[in-house]
Amino acid sequence: MKKLIIYQEKCEPIVLFDNDDRSNEDYIKETDEAFHSQVITTLHTTDGSVSIRPGKLVSILVQDALQEPMDDLEVPEIKSPETEKPKKKTTRKPKKKADEKKEEEIDIIKDVD
């Protein structure tokens, strides 16, 4: 049983387990390909899969691990981008149509000197 801890920039570590009998050295050689890749890499284990952006990859720690119950694992919180603040509701006065003109009082001058 292998325990993989994947460290990326500005992220919590990702912990995966893999039922693999290879030596740590052989296992590391295979995971080493993720560092040299120019595209997003997917690592598959018996515990799960993870897609990694190589430019953000800092390190991968491979350890021999005893079988650990999955309930006891700490799952890192996935941080989502900040949500936009809710916009304030504004009430607008309905626009008057062009045909609806205000009636204004007009002074009419009748006598001119």
What is the tens place of the pLDDT at every residue in 44-80? 888 888 888 888 888 888 888 775 545 555 655 655 5
Question: Closest Cα partner for 57 from 38, 79, 74?
Answer: 38
Tens-place pLDDT, residues 2-29:
888 888 888 889 899 999 888 888 888 8
* CATH number of the domain within which 30 lies: 2.30.30
| Structural domain range at position 57 | 2-65
Domain assignment present for residue 11? The answer is: yes
Residues 6 or more apart in contact with residue 77 via CB below 8 angstroms: 12
Q: Is residue 113 in a domain?
A: no
pLDDT at 69: 47
pTM beyond cutoff 0.75? no
Report if residue 73 sits inside a domain. no
